[in-house]
Amino acid sequence: MKRFLTLLCTLACFAAVAQKSGGIDAAMMQQIREGYRGKASDKAVKNALASTPISTLAKNGDNLAMCDTHFRYQVKTKGITDQKSSGRCWLFTGLNVLRAKMIVKHDLKEFEFSQNYLSFYDLLEKSNLFLQGIIDTRELPLDDRKVEWLLKNPIGDGGQFTGVSNLITKYGAVPKSAMPETYQSNNTRDMRMILSLKLREYALKLREARKGELKELKTAMLTNIYDILVKCLGVPPTEFTWTRYNSKGERVGTRSYTPQSFYAEFIGEDLENNYVMLMNDPTREYGKVYEIDYDRHMYDGDNWLYINLPIERIKEVAIASIKDNTAMYFSCDVGKFFDRKRGVLDISNLDYASLFATEFPMDKKQRVSTFASGSSHAMTLIAVDTDKDGKATKWMVENSWGANSGYRGNVIMTDEWFNEYMFRLVAERKYVPEDILKILEQKPIMLPAWDPMFAPEE
């Protein structure tokens, strides 16, 4: 009887499997195996792949020579920064744009802003953004989409340009000598883990607390976060002394500053109103203004706001700015077809199709729609080369991976690669044509914070 029941159970299981369609059944598996026609060349590829990275084998032997490094138009810059093992490319890029201006404007030999100073306040402000977000959503269930997004993303050191503009407007800026990097600012993984753990713990306490004690409780929590940041990054200065030297190395003078007075004297731009973010996202309608909900660095700061444009219109702005010796915040999908040794982004660098005897036909819109591509890294756009008709042929960005990376710390990209993998550009209003600026009069279309197109740039 026992064997009979076991047999019935087995037959029932097989029947249940047989009733489900969509799986790989025996007939399909047989068809797949018979469809494989291994050739002698396939064995050679298989043997090579067994012990060699795909990117090495896919390297296009016809595209190994270094590209032309001459650029018709190039912004004057000095020095290469290094974000080390941190996700602060957005901050380094924004400060590099301002650094280039300051060096030229004040005839400096070299200069670098303190990234650590603004990182400190960025992490403190993001902590408040998260905690206040938890307070604002405390009546919603834990599995609500916004609550879930908050808890999955309590804090990180990635970001975008509005973080630069909002933070400097509120906290000013200081030279690197006033607050240098620490091991933790250069290597942020463990610090982010500790902050995330505390913030998630605090989130549960805020959801359970009485309404009347929320503000006091949040202040105490932020005081503890401040203490952790001081231990990791140091105490941000409220006043400091800085000696200025000109391009000849001659001492100009020594003065005391606050972070706000330093920025006002040496840069003084209205960062929140003087810059426009332009996007090339072919999955959404061009000529529209978009805003990303809850995607900001400060609770009382600005969400992402951008104009979506065809790539050629963005190039117009980029070329105009470079011709006027003004660098720009630029972001792209840097990991695609990147020859790190040469520092060249070129879709001809790698030939996956030949290696695997197949095609990869998706265009930019299809790649973005299927999450195969999106902006991942910010750099400073500083150069363009053009043909006799004024059309761009290649571009160059100043990276923040150190002077020994890429081409002298820079990355060169072909115009074809630019078309396919460039996403965002932040430019001064004076370089943006009036018909594009007029688009800003539209009511922004709000997009959710969890849209994958808007992951922080690291």
> pLDDT for 42-97, tens place per residue?
888 989 999 999 999 899 989 988 999 999 999 999 999 999 999 999 999 999 99
**Rounded average pLDDT over 295-321:** 96
Q: What is the pLDDT of residues 165-208, one digit of tens each?
A: 999 999 999 999 999 999 999 999 999 999 999 999 999 999 99
Q: Give the C-alpha separation, 169 to 174, whole Å.
A: 13
Q: How high is the pLDDT of residue 43?
A: 87
Q: How high is the pLDDT of residue 214?
A: 97
**Rounded average pLDDT over 269-296:** 94
Q: How high is the pLDDT of residue 182?
A: 98
Element (H, E) at 266: helix 259-266
The DSSP annotation for 288-357 comes to EEEEETT-SSSTTSPPEEEEE--HHHHHHHHHHHHHTT--EEEEE-TTTTEETTTTEE-TTSB-HHHHHT
Q: Give the C-alpha separation, 197 to 209, whole Å.
A: 19
* Inter-residue contact 76 to 247 (CB < 8 Å): no
Q: How many whole angstroms from its chain centre is CA 310? A: 21
Q: How high is the pLDDT of residue 1?
A: 54
pLDDT at 15 over 90: no
At 82, the amino acid letter reads D
| Residues tagged active-site | 89, 377, 399
Q: Give the C-alpha separation, 181 to 352, whole Å.
A: 40
Confidence of residue 2 (pLDDT cuts 50, 70, 90): low
Burial of 123: CB neighbours in 10 Å, binned 0-12, 13-18, 19+: buried
Nearest to 365 by CA among 419, 316, 436, 329: 419
Confidence of residue 20 (pLDDT cuts 50, 70, 90): confident
**What are the start-end ranges of the H helices in 106-213?**
115-136, 145-152, 161-171, 183-186, 189-208
pLDDT at 408 over 80: yes
Q: How many H-runs (helices) and E-runs (strands) does the chain carry? A: 18, 14
Q: How high is the pLDDT of residue 427?
A: 98
Could you tell me which residue, 434 or 46, shows the higher pLDDT? Answer: 434
Element (H, E) at 47: helix 40-49
**Rounded average pLDDT over 11-18:** 50
CATH placement of domain 73-454: 3.90.70.10
12 is written with which tokens? 């029932």
Q: What mean pLDDT, rounded, does the chain reach?
A: 93
Percent of the chain with pLDDT over 90: 87
Q: Give the C-alpha separation, 83 to 93, whole Å.
A: 10
Please report, for residues 168, 264, 378, the alpha-carbon distance to residue 398 in angstroms, rounded to integers and kept in the order given: 21, 25, 10
341 is written with which tokens? 């040794």
Q: How high is the pLDDT of residue 40?
A: 80
pLDDT at 247 over 80: yes
Q: How high is the pLDDT of residue 6?
A: 53
Q: How high is the pLDDT of residue 38?
A: 82
Q: Centre a 10 Å sphere on the Cβ of residue 95 and count the other Cβ atoms it contains.
A: 24
Q: How high is the pLDDT of residue 456?
A: 76
pLDDT at 19 over 70: no
Nearest to 192 by CA among 130, 259, 148: 130
Confidence of residue 232 (pLDDT cuts 50, 70, 90): very high
Q: Centre a 10 Å sphere on the Cβ of residue 294 and count the other Cβ atoms it contains.
A: 18
pLDDT at 10 over 70: no
* Inter-residue contact 104 to 111 (CB < 8 Å): no
Q: How high is the pLDDT of residue 362?
A: 97
**Rounded average pLDDT over 266-278:** 95
Show the CA angle centred on residue 178, arms to residues 173 and 181, nearest 5°: 95
Element (H, E) at 378: strand 377-386
Name the residue ranges covered by the structural domains of the chain.
73-454
Q: What is the pLDDT of residues 103-154, one digit of tens each?
A: 999 999 999 999 999 999 999 999 999 999 999 999 999 999 999 999 999 9
Q: Give the C-alpha separation, 287 to 361, whole Å.
A: 27
Q: What is this structure's pTM? A: 0.92
**Rounded average pLDDT over 383-393:** 96
pLDDT at 17 over 60: no
Show the CA angle centred on residue 253, arms to residues 248 and 257, nearest 5°: 125
pLDDT at 18 over 80: no
Q: Which residue has the tokens 């590209």?
A: 67
Q: What is the pLDDT of residues 416-429, one digit of tens each?
A: 999 999 999 999 99
Q: Give the C-alpha separation, 105 to 82, whole Å.
A: 23
